[in-house]
Amino acid sequence: MDRQNLIENNGIVFNAKPDAVPYNYRVSYKVSQICLILAKSCWGRSGCLPVKLHMISFALCSKSTMDKLVNFALNEFADTPIIRFDPAVNRAVTFAIADNLIIHSKNGKYTLTDKGKKFVEEIDKDPTVLAAEKLDLSELSKKLTDEKIKQLSYIWRNTYAED
């Protein structure tokens, strides 16, 4: 068997792939991003709605998308930003729960555990780690309220949903 194409380790098989996975789809990046979102843009123990995680994660992909989200959060009659539900966020949430970094509360929201808070503290110690994300999240801060999320969901449901 060609060792370059197949690595075996205790029954787990890894096949070599021709292309690298882009950083923004790597589980380690998304888990870090989700923990930062929860720490910087959600209200303490009350947590963060899943749709809010998706909205902010998508907004972190580009400055213009983040600017639209901040504008929507601050202004009553701002253009509605796009909501993109990314399967990579769902996978990262699953991994973050399994690693005890976050929990899914009874109210349906995600919150950081003590381990998750320590993880974010470690990320914050190094100004070069996730620097752009930290900057964008500090700009958004806690401006995107649950009420604005509900408003946006209502707009999207009534404008774009089909029976």
Angle, in degrees to the nearest 10, between helices 27-41 and 50-59: 110
DSSP states of 44-112 as a string?
GGGBB-HHHHHHHHHHTT-HHHHHHHHHHHH-TTPPPPP----HHHHHHHHHHHHTTSEEE-TTS-EEE
Given a cut of 70, whether residue 121 has pLDDT beyond it is yes
- The pLDDT-based confidence of 77 (bands split at 50, 70, 90) is confident
Helix (H, G, I), strand (E, B) or coil at 117: helix
Percentage above 90 pLDDT, the chain: 59
Whether the model clears a pTM of 0.75, i.e. scores above it, the answer is yes
Over the stretch 11-66, which tens digit does the pLDDT of each residue have? Answer: 566 677 677 777 777 889 999 999 999 999 987 678 899 999 999 999 999 999 99
**pLDDT for the residue numbered 155:** 81
Domains and CATH numbers, the chain: 22-160 (1.10.10)
Please check whether residue 101 is in contact with residue 113, taking contact to mean a CB–CB distance below 8 angstroms: yes
30/12 Cα distance (integer angstroms) = 24
| Residue 12, Cβ density class (10 Å: 0-12 exposed, 13-18 middle, ≥19 buried) | exposed
